[in-house]
Structure 1
Amino acid sequence: MRYDQTLTIKKPQSRRRRSFSKRRKNSNASVPTSDQWKSWKPMQFCAVEDSRNGERIIFRTGENILVLNHDWFPNEHYDLCDSWVGKIVDIRGNSPRNTWVIVQWYFSGKDIAEHEKAQKAGGGVGKGTSSYGKFERSLSQDRQVISTLSINGKAIVVDYDETAPLQEPISSECFYTRRTYNSLFGSVMPAFDPSIACRCKRHYNPDEADLMRFCPRDGCRHWCHESCLRENGFVSNKSPDERTQDFLDLPQAQVGRIPPDLLRLACTSIVKGGPTHGVAGNVKVVCEAREWVRLYASTPSSECRPGLLLRDITLDRWLDGLDGVEVEDLIYPDDESYFARKKVQTEAESLPYVCSHCEKPI
């Protein structure tokens, strides 16, 4: 599964995103009073008409939404990352054309920096926000009543765990969140963990061009910038065969049992960052490929390896869900010596880096 941004319902807008502090300044004068709000019954959902085709889009409490800036004009372009993003907490109104929602705002890194500056909180202006990507958001305690006419579509906001080996890929134009923001005390939670940062102590910003490599081994679960690995000499001088064995922690005799395409995928470096690799990178597919490799390596040749299951699916079904891998390229001969005779093409030559902790290939 890949997480993608979905469903905008207004025509494209223009202008840069207004800062967070100006949201309230631009609030509509007809916002219901507290007494009016209490007099209206809560609704389970509301409907907003798509201006492009007249279809009614249903929004429910708990869903994340895109919200229009008040100074954006129709029929002009705007960047999706400049949208306001909020979570619907409550829906009320007295008619379909007078329906309002309470949104709980997601803050961008710029929002947090501005809020800390205004509140003089957090021990400094924008402390810790330099690692925020343009699509990164943190859910705050700040809430506001807005008209449903300001809703511009549904937003997907994906939880991103930097230490999870099976983190799903995240589209380059999908909102994601790693932490929450306490707007009352000016604190980001959980706090930035130096143990998962690179040796340079810079936290990961997906928008930076400096790619990061991951070591998924127990006791590591550690990301490093390629530039830091290179500058500090964490480069392997082993042969490709030795690196393949170190990648998989398997002896050469067992490496020979692995289907070539699966072996090549399992020996791919785990990389994230930049426009090519995306926010979460290829960590899930490579870690799962290495699980398949260990399963194949531990299975005697007399057993039917094509029938092996990992999480109740076969290898060919797993490969069906991957981009750029042809299932037909995998061969399942009865004689395991075939794999030993077949020359295995790996990418070890182009993957010279080693982990700064365990010094295994990454």
Structure 2
Amino acid sequence: MVKVKEIRSKPDGEVWVKVNWFYSPQEVSEKVPAFDASKCAKYERIYSHHSEIVSALTFEALVTMVEFVEDDPDQPRILQDQFFHRYYLETNREKFNALQYTCDGALEPLGAKSCSCGEPYNPEDSDSRVMHWCPRPGCRRAYHRSCLIEDAHHAMLKGQNNLVCARLSSSADTDEAVTTPGRDILRRVPDDLVFLAAQPMVRGGAYGVAGNVAIVVRARRVVHAALPIVGHESFSGSEAEGLCILDAELELDLDLYSWYEDSGFASWEDAIVEARLSSEAQTEGVFVCPTCGGAL
């Protein structure tokens, strides 16, 4: 599998193509013994700067390849049968090294943001090994559910409202805990939106390669943008759902109910992990990030 870089033709009509190669996980493990191919998915490939010029006649079909950046809070969805890549094979005079993409466009050593157990994310792990992802910018790493349980990285909270507020306090845009208002203010935001924003961010197993991270991050951003506005003393409940609000000398249009039609929330029901989140239980359990202490 290759990525086309340039296409050129000769006067005689022959067409030649400059390509960069995608390797299979097994091929990379042969060149980099520390690379564990068993932690890769069926449709996963590894990009490289290994370049060649080949005849256009050697191509068989066009395939869509998606880049998967594990620490990107806005990572697009990756379908179960879609080819993707998250690692880069660096070659230099027959010396090989495997690196991993980051959301700022850089490359880092494999496992730099792996679980506390040191094992990389395997999209095809069992459900007990689903990864819980921390969105805070200084963290943005995932932990196996089984590791969080084994190492007792969890806490019990009094009531569902505290669980919702704890999850909403973890933002993809700040390392500081976001202060959330009381239940009365939260009730002025659409229930479905709060329900989605308060879901744990997970990936792997039944939740897919990229998981529900991007859609929950998006929902939290909408809620975070709305909360200071709907909590303003000069607004009544109906006015809080309105459009024109002045915030820090910036006029902001915010219709809290337009999110239902936002293409960014397409099929948001698939992002639901805790279907009974709205129950009025006396206590609720929440996983805690081992690195920053935020709610997962």
Residues 308, 315 of structure 1: 8 Å contact kept? no
Query: 1:31-89 deviations in whole A, cap 9, x for unaligned?
Result: xxxxxxxxxxxxxxxxxxxxxxxxxxxxxxxxxxxxxxxxxxxxxxxxxxxxx233343
Query: 1:161-201 deviations in whole A, cap 9, x for unaligned?
Result: 21121222122222222232123320123343544110001
Q: Distance in 1 between matches of 2:252 and 2:70?
A: 23
Q: Give the match for residue 187 of structure 1.
A: 97
Q: Give the match for residue 356 of structure 1.
A: 290
Within-5 A mapping of 1:202-351: 202-209=119-126, 210-239=129-158, 240-249=160-169, 250-253=180-183, 254-274=185-205, 276-299=206-229, 300=232, 301-302=235-236, 303-307=239-243, 315-320=256-261, 321=263, 322-324=265-267, 345=278
SS at match of 1:286: helix
Q: Distance in 2 between matches of 1:318 and 1:153?
A: 38
Bigger Cα Rg: 1
Query: 1:87-142 deviations in whole A, cap 9, x for unaligned?
Result: 3433324556x43323221112112123x1xxxxx4xx253544332322232232
Q: Distance in 1 between matches of 2:258 and 2:88?
A: 37
- Classify 1:313/1:196 alpha carbon distance in 2 versus 1 (closer, same or farther; 3 Å): farther
* Higher-strand-fraction structure: 2
SS at match of 2:74: coil
Residues 171, 278 of structure 1: 8 Å contact kept? yes
Query: TM-score, normalised to structure 2's length?
Result: 0.73
Q: Give the match for residue 20 of structure 2.
A: 104
| TM-fit CA distance, 1:270 | 0.6
Counterpart check, 1:158 vs 2:78: no
Q: Distance in 1 between matches of 2:82 and 2:280?
A: 30
- Classify 1:104/1:202 alpha carbon distance in 2 versus 1 (closer, same or farther; 3 Å): same
Structure 1 stretch 346-355 or stretch 155-164: which is displaced more? 346-355
- Classify 1:306/1:224 alpha carbon distance in 2 versus 1 (closer, same or farther; 3 Å): farther
SS at match of 1:230: helix
- Classify 1:100/1:358 alpha carbon distance in 2 versus 1 (closer, same or farther; 3 Å): closer
Q: Select 1:137's aligned residue among 36, 45, 69.
A: 45
Show structure 1 runs of 5+ residues with no match.
1-83, 117-121, 327-343
SS at match of 1:140: strand
Q: Distance in 2 between matches of 1:151 and 1:315?
A: 49
Residues 85, 106 of structure 1: 8 Å contact kept? yes
Residues 17, 55 of structure 2: 8 Å contact kept? yes
- Classify 1:214/1:311 alpha carbon distance in 2 versus 1 (closer, same or farther; 3 Å): farther
| TM-fit CA distance, 1:353 | 2.3
Query: TM-score, normalised to structure 1's length?
Result: 0.61
Counterpart check, 1:169 vs 2:77: yes
Partner amino acid, structure 2, of 1:206: P
Residues 241, 255 of structure 2: 8 Å contact kept? no
| TM-fit CA distance, 1:159 | 2.4
- Classify 1:319/1:91 alpha carbon distance in 2 versus 1 (closer, same or farther; 3 Å): farther
Query: 1:262-289 deviations in whole A, cap 9, x for unaligned?
Result: 1100111111112x22221111110111
Query: What is the CA RMSD across the aligned residues, in angstroms?
Result: 3.1
Partner amino acid, structure 1, of 2:78: I
Residues 197, 203 of structure 1: 8 Å contact kept? yes
- Classify 1:315/1:255 alpha carbon distance in 2 versus 1 (closer, same or farther; 3 Å): closer
Show structure 2 runs of 5+ residues with no match.
100-106, 170-179, 246-250, 270-276
Q: Percent identity?
A: 28
